[in-house]
């Protein structure tokens, strides 16, 4: 048998699965975004870029977009910073580091809904953990998730808490790949701790930072379960993120055409991020 | 003047002792080799001189100053690592200048020193490259450059050539030695390769199981090995060892009716002979030991001939043209002064008197 046919046959199960559940729906979504939403007797008809025009004019879309951008710009660097800090800590020679590593990783194992419920308890007005602690120090009770100014930062805190432990594992692996000789060579030159970090550790874990950063960025635009479990997008769309908005448009308002247009925009954005990773940043990062 | 003074240094981890009460001094501008098999403590010793490890007890003085608590540049030492330990993300020039820039040296000074080191090591054309774009020998040069740029009075090298092929190793050996002599640097060089030690060193410190086995100029270790261990370790082709026995009027080679080697007891002693001291003749020649050729290792200009005297093999180095056939009966002989006699139990060298039998003679032939 022809080697090419053989190869394709071997790849067939994966191709079928990916095509059925990923590629065909994605293309279908792009096509759907140029049609109106079918209603009962009225079938979908081609309306060109109309969905996109209404998207540009939709204040809630822009709210969701800026929310999401803010969400990404704050959670990604913070999660990375915490992950690296924790990894540096548990990579050192300290007693009980296995327990520490496990402790840092635990949030990752928890299902989002479970984690969300734990944090709901922390955030609850009056008798939530945060407010109880705050009260002990004489602070007024804050409605963390009910106040538009604190709701989004509260969600961000949960994300950082959950992601940092996961990313820590990657950093831990990266740190253990750095040859100890390099640190000894730096010690021979009497380099200080900060210099060692800035000149050796940081550049050596750069590939991991890139990998983690891209993943965190993509994750930030894919958050939906947390919003559903904790705030439902409120108050006053303060916590409405893009994917949650798409979910709402599609399955609460049943405006499938508009949801398809929103999805296409999101998809394009994420694809651009992925491409940037492959073509732009790859070259500037040192790989061993 | 002593550049490095090591005084009863001991290093132990729990119950394991890597270095046990070692003392030695390295003179200014000398190249001292710490030689020994793996696990003998030589690298640990070097790391303690570098300040990467703290000794359990004992003191190290560099340039007359107790350097406890200081590391590397602060105690006036630089180091070349076995793996080179080049920073893979930095260019050659950044690698070499790393130490100076970390310590905040002025840019102009870094540039002049970098240029000097680069021309010294022939690295001018490679300065903009990353270590991964260099060959093993070039990487080694960069590592050397990084150690030399600060002009630290003492330079430590930890098996710097072990990752290179034989030809390159020989070239770099000469180059490092020439550089060291030209710049007058005090070097401490760790290796397990006796050839490197013999060809480069002013002083060799042979270590075994955390202790100094013998210390001296290469020729001293070669000519008068103080122990069986030294005798075995030093020398290109291995020394042959023959057990001795008490003969009628002196020591003889065990299991043979060989001539008397020297007056005195032979039992419990071992005769050591370097292949280059052993001459192979036709069996008929008088004053020789009867032997049978069992193997010949042809090396070009010369050959290593394995002969059997009694039960034991003895190696002889002969010229490539004069190789006897395998199975031939030959006579072997050597200068009495070339014989090294050791106590078998302690391994210590025995000061033998060759007075009564200055030359081995065939005076007891019995069948």
Whichever domain contains B21, its CATH number is 3.40.50.300
Contacts of B72 in chain A (CB under 8 A): 187-190
Instruction: Give the C-alpha separation, B168 to B136, whole Å.
Output: 9
B17 and B136 in a common domain: yes
Which of A189, A195, A200 is opposite residue B73, by nearest beta carbon? A189
Q: Tell me whether residue B86 is in a domain.
A: yes
Q: Confidence class of residue B108 from pLDDT cuts 50, 70 and 90?
A: very high
A239 contacts A231 by C-beta, under 8 angstroms? yes
Q: pLDDT: is A48 or B106 the higher one?
A: B106
CA atoms of B148 and B160, how far apart (whole Å): 14
Mean pLDDT of chain B: 87
List of long-range contacts for A181-186, beta carbons under 8 Å, 24+ apart: A181/B81, A181/B83, A181/B85, A182/B85, A182/B87, A184/B52, A184/B81, A184/B85, A185/B79, A185/B81, A185/B85, A185/B87, A185/B98, A185/B146, A186/B98, A186/B102
pLDDT over 90 percentage in chain B: 56
Q: Which pLDDT band, with edges at 50, 70 and 90, does B110 fall under? A: very high
Residues of B in contact with A186 (CB under 8 A): 98, 102
Minimum-distance CB partner of B85 among A184, A192, A206: A184
Q: Domain of B299: which CATH number?
A: 2.40.50.140
In this prediction, residues B71-96 reach a mean pLDDT of 92
Do B269 and B185 reside in the same domain of the chain? no
B333 has a pLDDT exceeding 90:
no
The shortest C-alpha distance from A164 to chain B (Å) reads 26
Does the structure show a pLDDT above 50 at B92? yes
The CA distance from A175 to the nearest CA of chain B, in Å, is 14
B359 pLDDT exceeds 50? no
Spatial strand order of the sheet with B57-62 comes to B16-27, B2-13, B57-62, B65-66
Q: The complex's ipTM?
A: 0.81
**Average pLDDT taken over every residue of chain A:** 86
Q: What angle do CA A4, A5, A7 make, to 5 degrees?
A: 65
User: B99 — contact with chain A (CB < 8 Å)?
Assistant: yes
Confidence of residue B358 (pLDDT cuts 50, 70, 90): very low
More confident call, A276 vs B178: B178
Nearest residue in chain A measured CA to CA from B80: A185
In a domain, B31, yes or no: yes
Instruction: Write out chain A residues lying below 8 Å of B44, CB-based.
Output: none
- Cβ separation of A187 and B52 shorter than 8 Å? yes
If asked whether residues B145 and B95 sit together in one domain, one would say yes
Same domain, B20 and B130: yes
Inside any domain, residue B246: yes
User: Is A184's CB within 8 Å of B98's CB?
Assistant: no
Q: What is the pLDDT of residue A287?
A: 52
Interface test with A, best of B44, B79, B87 (most A CBs within 10 A): B87
Q: Is B78 on the interface with A (CB under 8 A)?
A: yes
Which pLDDT band holds residue B1 (cuts at 50, 70, 90)?
low
Instruction: Establish, for the pair of chains A and B, how many residue pairs have beta carbons separated by less than 8 Å.
Output: 61
Q: Is the pLDDT higher at B360 or at A236?
A: A236
Interface contact A189-B72, CB threshold 8 A: yes
Residue range B333-337: mean pLDDT, rounded? 86
| Contact yes or no for B85 and A199 at CB 8 A | no
* pLDDT per position as a tens digit, A9-44: 999 999 999 999 989 999 999 998 888 888 877 887
- Tell me the C-alpha distance between A87 and B40, whole Å: 36
8 Å CB contact of B102 and A184: no
Which among A181, A186, A188 has CB closest to B78?
A188
Question: Strand locations in B96-146, DSSP E?
Answer: none
Mean pLDDT value across residues B87-92: 92
What percent of chain B has a predicted confidence (pLDDT) above 70?
A: 93
Distance from CA of A271 to the nearest CA of B (A): 29
Give the predicted TM-score (pTM) of the model.
Answer: 0.79
Q: Do A189 and B87 touch (CB under 8 A)?
A: no
Question: How far apart (Å, rounded) are the C-alpha atoms in residues B284 and B335?
Answer: 18
CB contacts of A197 in chain B (<8 Å) are none
CB within 8 Å: A199 and B52: no
Residues B53 and B196 reside in one and the same domain? yes
What are the chain B neighbours of A185 within 8 Å (beta carbons)? 79, 81, 85, 87, 98, 146
Q: What is the CATH number of domain A60-284?
A: 1.10.3720.10
Q: Is B93 exposed, middle or buried (0-12, 13-18, 19+ CB in 10 A)?
A: buried
Inter-chain CB proximity B89 and A206 less than 8 Å: yes
DSSP class per residue in B176-204 = HHHHHHHHT-EEEEEES-HHHHHHH-SEE
pLDDT score recorded for residue B306: 92
B106 plus B210 within the same structural domain: yes
Residue of B nearest to A204 (CA): B89
Contact B52 A184 (CB under 8 A): yes
Same domain flag for B89 and B218: yes
Shortest alpha-carbon distance between residue B210 and chain A (Å): 23
Say whether B85 and A185 touch across the interface (CB within 8 A).
yes
pLDDT-based confidence at residue B361 (cuts at 50, 70, 90)? very low
Of the candidates A189, A204, A286, the beta carbon closest to that of B102 is on: A189
Rounded percentage of chain A residues whose pLDDT exceeds 70? 97
Q: What is the mean pLDDT of residues A122-149?
A: 79
- Whether residue B50 lies within 8 A of chain A, CB to CB, comes out as yes
State the Rg of chain A over Cα: 23
CA pair distance A259, A247, nearest whole angstrom = 8
Q: Can you tell me the mean pLDDT for A191-202?
A: 91
A203 chain-B contacts, CB cut-off 8 A: 89
For residue range A250-261, what is the model confidence (pLDDT) as tens digits? Answer: 888 888 888 899
Nearest to B89 among A184, A191, A204 (CB): A204
- Which residue in B has a C-alpha nearest to residue A191's C-alpha? B102
Of the residues B88, B99, B103, B163, the best mutation for testing chain A's interface (the one with the most A CB atoms within 10 Å of its CB) is: B88
pLDDT, one tens digit per residue, over A79-88 is: 999 999 989 9
- For residues B16 and B131, state if they share a domain: yes
Q: Which residues of A touch B80 (CB under 8 A)?
A: none
Token output for B67: 């350097």
Binary contact (A203, B99; C-beta < 8 A): no
Q: Closest approach of chain A CAs to the CA of B141, in angstroms? A: 15
Tens of pLDDT, residue by residue over B274-301, are: 999 998 887 766 667 888 899 999 888 8
Mean per-residue pLDDT, A172-192: 91
The pLDDT assigned to B181 comes to: 92
**B338 CB-contact burial (10 Å; exposed 0-12 / middle 13-18 / buried 19+):** middle
Write down the pLDDT at residue B355: 42
Q: What pLDDT does residue A284 have?
A: 57
Contact A181 B72 (CB under 8 A): no
- Structural domain count, chain B: 2
Band (pLDDT 50/70/90 cuts) for residue A225 is confident
**pLDDT for residue B362 is more than 60:** no
The closest alpha carbon to A202, from A88, A118, A98, belongs to A88
Buried b (16+ CB within 10 A) or exposed e, B162-196: eebeeeebeebbebbbebbeeeebbbbbbbbebeb
Per-residue H/E/C for B266-287:
CCCEEEEECHHHCEEEECCCCC
Query: What is the spatial distance between Cα B72 and Cα A118, in angstroms, rounded to a whole number?
Result: 51
With CA atoms as reference, the chain A residue closest to B130 would be A286
Q: What is the pLDDT of residues B253-265, one digit of tens each?
A: 877 766 777 777 7
Q: Indicate whether B104 and B198 sit together in one domain.
A: yes
Residue B178 and residue B88 share a domain: yes
Report whether pLDDT(A247) > 70: yes
B73 touches chain A (CB under 8 A): yes
Q: With contacts defined as CB-CB under 8 Å, which chain B residues touch A189?
A: 72-73, 98-99, 102-103, 150
Whether the per-residue pLDDT at A127 is higher than 90: the answer is no
Is the Cβ–Cβ distance between A48 and A36 less than 8 Å? no
Q: Which residues of B touch A200 (CB under 8 A)?
A: 87
Higher pLDDT, A59 or B248: A59
For residue B216, the model assigns a pLDDT of 93
pLDDT of residue B350: 86
pLDDT digits (tens, 9 = 90+) for B134-184: 998 899 999 999 999 988 899 999 998 888 888 888 888 999 999 999 989
- Using DSSP, state whether B212 is helix, strand or coil: strand
Same domain, B256 and B329: yes
Contact call for A195 and B132, based on CB within 8 A: no
Instruction: Say if B172 is an interface residue toward chain A (CB within 8 Å).
Output: no
> Do residues B89 and B200 both lie within one domain?
yes
Residue B298's domain spans which residues?
A: 237-343
From B79, B87, B132, residue closest to A188, measured CB to CB: B79
């Amino acid at each position: 048998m022809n080697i090419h046919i053989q190869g394709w046959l071997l790849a067939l199960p994966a191709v079928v699965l990916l095509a059925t559940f990923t590629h065909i729906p994605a293309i279908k979504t792009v096509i759907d975004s140029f049609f109106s939403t079918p209603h009962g007797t009225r079938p979908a008809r081609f309306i060109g870029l109309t969905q996109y025009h209404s998207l540009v004019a939709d204040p809630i879309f822009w709210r969701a977009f800026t929310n999401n951008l803010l969400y990404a710009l704050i959670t990604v660097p913070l999660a990375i910073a915490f992950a690296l800090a924790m990894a540096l800590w548990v990579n050192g020679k300290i007693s009980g580091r296995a327990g520490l590593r496990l402790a840092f990783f635990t949030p990752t194992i928890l299902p989002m809904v479970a984690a969300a419920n734990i944090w709901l308890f922390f955030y609850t007005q009056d008798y939530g953990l945060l407010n109880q602690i705050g009260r002990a120090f004489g602070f007024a009770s804050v409605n963390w998730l009910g106040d538009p100014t604190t709701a989004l930062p509260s969600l961000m805190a949960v994300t950082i808490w959950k992601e940092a432990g996961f990313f820590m594992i990657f950093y831990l692996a990266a740190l253990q790949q750095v040859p100890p000789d390099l640190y000894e060579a730096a010690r021979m030159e009497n380099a200080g701790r900060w210099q060692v970090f800035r000149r050796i550790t940081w550049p050596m874990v750069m590939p991991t930072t890139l990998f983690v950063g891209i993943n965190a960025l993509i994750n930030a635009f894919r958050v939906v379960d947390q919003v559903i479990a904790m705030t439902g997008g409120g108050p006053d769309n303060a916590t409405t993120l893009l994917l949650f908005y798409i979910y709402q448009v599609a399955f609460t308002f049943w405006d499938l055409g508009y949801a398809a247009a929103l999805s296409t925009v999101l998809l394009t954005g994420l694809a651009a991020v992925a491409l940037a990773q492959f073509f732009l940043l790859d070259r500037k990062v040192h790989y061993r | 003047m002593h550049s490095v003074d090591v005084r009863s240094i001991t290093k132990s981890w729990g119950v394991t002792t890597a270095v046990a009460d070692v003392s030695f001094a390295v003179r200014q501008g000398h190249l001292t080799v710490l030689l020994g098999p793996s696990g003998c403590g030589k690298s640990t010793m070097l790391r303690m001189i570098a300040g990467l490890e703290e000794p359990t007890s004992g003191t190290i003085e560099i340039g007359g100053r107790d350097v406890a608590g200081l590391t590397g540049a602060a105690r006036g030492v630089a180091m070349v690592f076995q793996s080179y330990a080049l920073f893979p993300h930095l260019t050659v020039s950044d690698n070499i200048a790393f130490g100076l820039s970390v310590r905040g040296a002025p840019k102009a000074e870094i540039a002049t020193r970098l240029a000097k080191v680069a021309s010294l090591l022939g690295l001018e054309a490679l300065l903009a490259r990353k270590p991964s774009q260099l060959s093993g020998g070039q990487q080694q040069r960069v590592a050397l450059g990084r150690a030399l740029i600060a002009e630290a009075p003492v330079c430590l090298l930890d098996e710097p050539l072990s990752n290179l092929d034989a030809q390159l190793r020989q070239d770099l050996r000469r180059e490092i030695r020439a550089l060291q002599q030209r710049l007058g640097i005090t070097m401490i060089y760790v290796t397990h390769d006796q050839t490197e030690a013999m060809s480069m060193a002013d002083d060799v410190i042979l270590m075994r199981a955390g202790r100094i086995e013998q210390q001296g100029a290469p020729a001293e270790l070669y000519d008068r090995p103080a122990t069986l261990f030294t005798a075995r370790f030093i020398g290109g082709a291995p020394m042959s060892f023959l057990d001795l026995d008490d003969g009628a009027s002196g020591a003889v080679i065990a299991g043979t009716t060989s001539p008397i080697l020297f007056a005195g007891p032979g039992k419990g002693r071992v005769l050591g002979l370097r292949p280059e001291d052993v001459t192979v003749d036709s069996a008929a020649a008088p004053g020789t030991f009867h032997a049978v050729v069992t193997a010949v290792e042809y090396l070009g200009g010369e050959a290593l001939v394995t002969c059997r005297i009694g039960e034991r093999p003895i190696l002889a180095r002969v010229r490539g043209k004069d190789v006897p056939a395998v199975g031939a009966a030959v006579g072997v002989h050597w200068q009495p002064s070339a014989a090294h006699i050791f106590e078998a139990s302690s391994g210590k060298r025995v000061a033998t008197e060759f007075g009564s039998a200055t030359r081995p003679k065939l005076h007891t032939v019995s069948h």
